[in-house]
Structure 1
Amino acid sequence: MNTNGAVPCLLTTWSRSEQMLFRWLVKRCGDRDLAVDVLQETFLKALQMNQSFCEIEHQKAWLFRVAANALTDEWRRHQHDDELCDAAIPTLTANTDEPEAVDGLTQCLPTALERLSEDDREIIQACDLNGLSQQAFAEQKQLPLSTVKSRIQRARAKLRDQLKTHCHIRFDDNHKICCFTPSSLK
């Protein structure tokens, strides 16, 4: 991949995350070629963000989310392939060093978000899922940054409660998601 013109923060985050992301993709899909394709697609999406990538608070998490979404898109394109469909089924894990526990929550997250108020959902989607900085969100909404910080903390707490209740997630001693039991959320 040609990295000319890439912003330094992207290159730094990428160099720290690329191998871990690749191993995670191979583990998820069992296909090294597909993992390379998804890895390249993830890098290109980050590269397209240009300087905006530097404003993302959790850049590594953003890269994993983009990669997970790209892998899901590949699975959807190949639904007829039983092997890919079987690999798409999330597994229960107790290992907090691996993102599978968090990744498995993707089936619960959309419904949990729908259960939030429109304001809470908007701020979570903008700042946490789409990577918009809290400062940029504050400017867009013409709100003080302190107000945005308070609102996002409250919205995250509400989302956490929804996920704990409806996805039966558990947290380890470091307050990280360690495992969950998917449910229908209906």
Structure 2
Amino acid sequence: MEAAWQSHHQELYRFLIKHCGDKDAADELLQRVYMQALTHKTEFCELATPRAWLYTVAKRQWIDEQRRRKPWVDVDDIDIADEPAAGMPVDSLAACIAKALPHCEADDAHILSECDLSGVKQADYAQRHGLTLAATKARLRRARQRLRERLIQQCQITFDANGRICCHRALAEN
């Protein structure tokens, strides 16, 4: 085990410095990797590729350290009443979809109703209608795109800077 450690610990250290950006943190993580090797000494000695095992442990130690550093926010510190409801504009589109769907082509309305509104799996829809799964996915994608265009026009949907729906006119009659 010591021979493998001596052969690879310097490159592991450089690997950890590259990921951490801090020599002290890399040194701490390297010590944890060494402790893992000592803890699993019997299994470590039987490994065909100890270098790969050491790198895997080093990467996992680094990931664990990143998770530990992630800031946590106490739920009691958040005033939920002041937060706007994030899903509201999208949730309220249901009325607009119900008005737009009858204006879609019959094939589009059918596949959207089945797969998106009724929850039929695409594979089941394909089998029932003698289609391949790829053809079903393509038809559904095109039907969704045409419905999206219709909803933008009919419901006057407005998007925010991130591309999310921010507002619309829910009961348009077009």
- Relative to the length of structure 2, the TM-score reads 0.48
- Relative to the length of structure 1, the TM-score reads 0.45
| Larger of the two Rg values belongs to structure | 2
